[in-house]
Structure 1
Amino acid sequence: MEYISTSALANELDIKSADLFDKLKTLGWIERKNDKWTLTDLGKQKGGQTRTNPKFGEFVVWPENISLDGGQQKEKPKLLNATAIGKHFDISSQRLNLIFSELGWIEKDIAGWQITKLGKGLGGRQFEHETSGGTYVLWPDNILTNKNLTSVFIEVTVIEQPLPQTTKEAPKSTNDNFREKFPATLRTKDGHMVRSRAEVIIDNALYDYKLAHAYERKLPIEEDLYSDFFIPTENVYIEFWGMENDPKYAERKKVKIEIYKKYDFKLIELNDSDISNLDDHLPKKLLKYGIKVY
């Protein structure tokens, strides 16, 4: 049986730690003694245990599948760690976590991997190692068939094994139509083919700043949406808003911004006034996400 700390349980239940401690106190499972939370006899009956960490001292842990409704155990879903998922796709757990990070499902922190809002929405659950206090994430087994994850490996297969010429072409999306209307004909310093002079300036600046970046990267969501630029090291997206006077473009911009907000993606927005002095504006916007350029 896996056990998790009260703070980790609060994170899993998506409530504040203080609120969970208050609830457990109300249930009579824990009590406050000498400025520390301790288990009551009832808490022990419900499955609570005590652990000791050299750094954090004594703390209370609970069965990962515990229910606060009378303390009855709920059915435990099958959860997979990065090693098991990586084995399924024939890659290492380290590489898999980098892919998860790039998809925006987890973030690297000082103690390990922290789940994001998007990762929680997919059923991922945060855990802590009992001895080290390091953080990690477990995933439901349906993650193996997640469209955005499997597409990462499909893209690699397509590159290595080109599709036959007779393959039926898929219906074109709105983004495909946009690309046809505004073809990428301008080459940047790093070889990207982009669609406007402003995008050339932005791409060249990222190249000069020595920031690895992608052009027109699909967002890891069900909606068919592509960002102008993507910086994988910090999972930051960049959008340049041009054609502000075009009603159709303005509507497209509105939809994109709403989606960025919906998934809590890190977004840098640029417009024409930024482009004229990009070296003054872009570094400041990057710094907000911890990206320093010189």
Structure 2
Amino acid sequence: MLERLLPYRHPLTRFPAIRTIGALIFREMSTSYGKSPGGFIWTVLEPVGGIALLTVIFSLAVRVPPMGSSFALFYASGLLPFLMFLDISRRIAQSLAFSKQLLFYPGVTFVDAIVARFVLACMIHALVCIIVLTGIVYYDNVELILDLPRIVSAFLMSAGLALGVGCTNCFLMRRFPLWANVWAIITRPLFLISCIFIPFDSMPEGFRNILWFNPLIHIVGTNRSGFYSTYRAEYVQPVYVAVIAAVLFGLGLALLTKWHRDLAQR
């Protein structure tokens, strides 16, 4: 009888953190995609434009792509996880600055801000990957034997590494503003040394021994092995990427736990 008299409570009200994260996600969507002309369209056009430019340039110099018959698919399989890593890590690194005013509310924590940006960014990039890759397959009439577990694994590896790097940078960029400039310089060569243009196996052996320590090499290799059934990518070590992501995430989370109140006031 008492239960009938009590007002209905939605199941989500029992989990305030979920409601907070949901509210932050909707705020992020309205702020990032609702106010700019084109909104979400530009998120899709950025990788499409990059892939199209690479395809035109390299198709003029080389008749056959390093893998398969489609230049666009070859570059998309490497460029999309790379752009995903850069974008998600950047968004997470800006979590405190983006939600600074909300962190003073007792129901909002810095973890909520990070999780909200991470979840939304992963959803956006998953949608972008599906749209871009589906368009390339139909446009170039490519016949594929997809290995979905490997493609999903590459997606999770890229997301996990971005989360770890983003959390550490979230602290460093707020604590030491100069680090943002240093990080921008460090990441510029990544576009050239992440095997987006040339497969890892085609690199000189001495250079491969150094490139192997770049975790993005393993992500790109895993993703490409999911689209090209004959490409084995035996050099890939997902555990290596997972360890780096976990260490950076733990370090960043520990530093933010200790200093987030001071950093939010900056």
TM-score under structure 2 normalisation? 0.22
Bigger radius of gyration among the two: 1
Q: Which has the larger strand fraction? A: 1
- Taking CA–CA contacts closer than 8 Å with sequence separation of 6 or more, which of the two structures ends up with the larger relative contact order? 2
TM-score under structure 1 normalisation? 0.20
